[in-house]
């Protein structure tokens, strides 16, 4: 089976990491993947200038979380791509930034699946808008007029979390969690008794959606349970952070490269993910794959990834001090078991092989149904 995978980027940002992980998963299932990167394709071409103008307007008037304007052709024509590559199926990843023209969805003959990174564009112009009202009326108007009017939709949407699926309020949607690479060799993580090292990763760290501001109060009670508490903050703007209780030793670090990933996850014992609006953070799955337990915000997409064996789900903006302290004591008292359970969960549920087979089964079903429909039409016409 040949799948054409289309993404805004395969190199930059969290959505690009998710797209690369999906590529590896599909390849591990024996699927021939042809991957196209819109950023690379438009480099040094006049269309890049159009994309820059669009983005400047969007960011200036509506903010960084909004895509709503198209003033020229998209980077890719799905009709031309289908003719050129003749895929059995087109797999869309993050296609904001006018990577494609959504109007082409009604014109291509092969099935189209969209793996969602967030709610865009089905909830309006804002990527993490829980509903249309989350975006400004004018941004939604521009999107309907120039970019996406809701009339053409993929054959199926894939949500990487139950939270995203349930809140998308769209038809034809299925949950398949994101894949993550597992460390080649299992490592016994070391920890110190009566000491705990937390980690927080975001880029930028002061992104309101990532909710770093909740941690000073949420960690207020942890000092009474451990003799030494450290917090390692990774990301752009790590020097611009809130004030933490005096008993917490804060270490700030710049963004890190992929090659340093394992070293970063060795620098702390527990990852904190307090984001109120998150679908499936790469940092969470990477932490688990490296044997790092996670304490995450409840009632988000992270509910689909965190289990009691290797983490906890709490409300960081609620009365979280006792909950975090109790969860930390529970995890650290059986740390080796929790670490192994995290890796085992990834091997069992999130490995590229497991996720790849789920997509392969899905593709076979969709392609088979599409071909049966075409055959029925041909019979009726004859």
Q: Are strands 248-253 and 270-273 parallel, antiparallel or unpaired?
A: unpaired
Contact status, residue 28 vs residue 352, Cβ threshold 8 Å = yes
Using a 10 angstrom Cβ sphere, with 0-12 exposed, 13-18 middle and 19 or more buried, the burial of residue 27 is middle
Chain-centre distance of CA 293, in angstroms?
Answer: 19
CATH of domain 2-179+351-381: 3.40.50
Query: What distance, in Å, lies between the first and last C-alpha atoms of the chain?
Result: 29
91 Cβ neighbours under 8 A, 6+ residues apart: 3, 4, 5, 6, 22, 26, 112, 113, 115
Question: In order along the chain (382 residues), what is the average pLDDT of each group of 10 residues?
Answer: 97 92 97 97 92 96 94 96 98 97 96 96 90 82 94 95 92 95 69 89 92 93 92 89 92 92 94 93 95 96 97 90 94 95 96 98 93 51 48
Tell me the C-alpha distance between 337 and 355, whole Å. Answer: 25
Model pTM above 0.85: yes
Q: What is the pLDDT of residue 377?
A: 44
φ, ψ at 30 (rounded to 5°): 85, 15
Instruction: Kindly report the CATH class assigned to 195-348.
Output: alpha beta
Among the listed residues 259, 274, 261, the one whose alpha carbon sits nearest the alpha carbon of residue 234: 261
Per-residue pLDDT of 74-111, as tens digits, reads 999 999 999 999 999 999 999 999 999 999 999 999 99
Per-residue pLDDT of 139-180, as tens digits, reads 999 999 999 999 999 999 999 999 999 998 888 999 999 999
Residue identified by tokens 């309907």 is 144
Tell me the C-alpha distance between 76 and 147, whole Å. Answer: 14
Domain boundary assignment for the chain: 2-179+351-381, 195-348
Q: Do domains 2-179+351-381 and 195-348 have the same CATH topology?
A: yes
Q: What is the pLDDT of residue 379?
A: 44
Contact status, residue 202 vs residue 210, Cβ threshold 8 Å = yes
Q: What is the pLDDT of residue 35?
A: 98
Residue identified by tokens 């992104």 is 207
Among the listed residues 191, 182, 220, the one whose alpha carbon sits nearest the alpha carbon of residue 331: 191
Tell me the C-alpha distance between 44 and 352, whole Å. Answer: 34
Torsion angle (degrees, nearest 10) of CA 368, 370, 375, 377: 160
φ, ψ at 248 (rounded to 5°): -105, 120
141 Cβ neighbours under 8 A, 6+ residues apart: none
């Amino acid at each position: 089976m040949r799948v054409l995978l289309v993404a805004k980027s395969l190199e930059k940002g969290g959505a690009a990491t998710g797209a690369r992980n999906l590529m590896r998963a599909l390849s591990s299932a024996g699927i021939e993947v042809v991957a196209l990167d819109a950023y690379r394709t438009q480099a040094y071409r006049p269309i890049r200038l159009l994309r820059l103008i669009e983005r400047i307007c969007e960011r200036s008037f509506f903010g960084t979380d909004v895509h709503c304007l198209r003033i020229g052709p998209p980077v890719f024509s799905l009709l031309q791509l289908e003719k050129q590559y003749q895929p059995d199926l087109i797999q869309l990843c993050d296609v904001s930034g006018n990577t494609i023209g959504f109007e082409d969805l009604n014109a291509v003959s092969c099935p189209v699946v969209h793996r969602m990174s967030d709610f865009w564009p089905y909830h309006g112009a804002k990527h993490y808008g829980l509903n249309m009202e989350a975006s400004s009326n004018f941004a939604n108007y521009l999107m309907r007029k120039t970019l996406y009017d809701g009339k053409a939709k993929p054959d199926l949407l894939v949500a990487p979390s139950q939270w995203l699926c349930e809140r998308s309020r769209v038809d034809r949607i299925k949950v398949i969690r994101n894949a993550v690479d597992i460390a080649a060799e299992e490592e016994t993580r070391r920890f110190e008794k009566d000491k705990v090292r937390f980690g927080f990763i975001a880029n930028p760290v002061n992104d309101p959606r990532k909710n770093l501001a909740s941690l000073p109060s949420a960690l207020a009670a942890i000092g009474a349970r451990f003799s030494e508490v450290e917090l390692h903050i990774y990301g752009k703007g790590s020097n611009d952070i809130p004030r933490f209780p005096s008993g917490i030793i804060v270490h700030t670090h710049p963004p890190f490269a992929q090659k340093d990933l394992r070293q970063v996850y060795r620098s702390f014992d527990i990852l904190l993910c307090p984001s109120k609006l998150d679908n499936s953070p790469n940092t969470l799955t990477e932490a688990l794959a490296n044997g790092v337990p996670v304490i995450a915000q409840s009632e988000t997409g992270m509910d689909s990834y965190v289990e009691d064996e290797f983490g906890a789900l709490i409300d960081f903006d609620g009365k979280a001090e006792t909950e975090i302290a109790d969860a930390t004591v529970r995890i650290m008292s059986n740390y080796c078991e929790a670490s192994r359970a995290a890796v085992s969960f990834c091997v069992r549920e999130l490995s590229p092989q497991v996720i790849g087979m789920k997509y392969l089964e899905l593709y076979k079903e969709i392609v088979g149904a599409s071909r049966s429909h075409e055959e029925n039409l041909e019979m009726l016409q004859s």
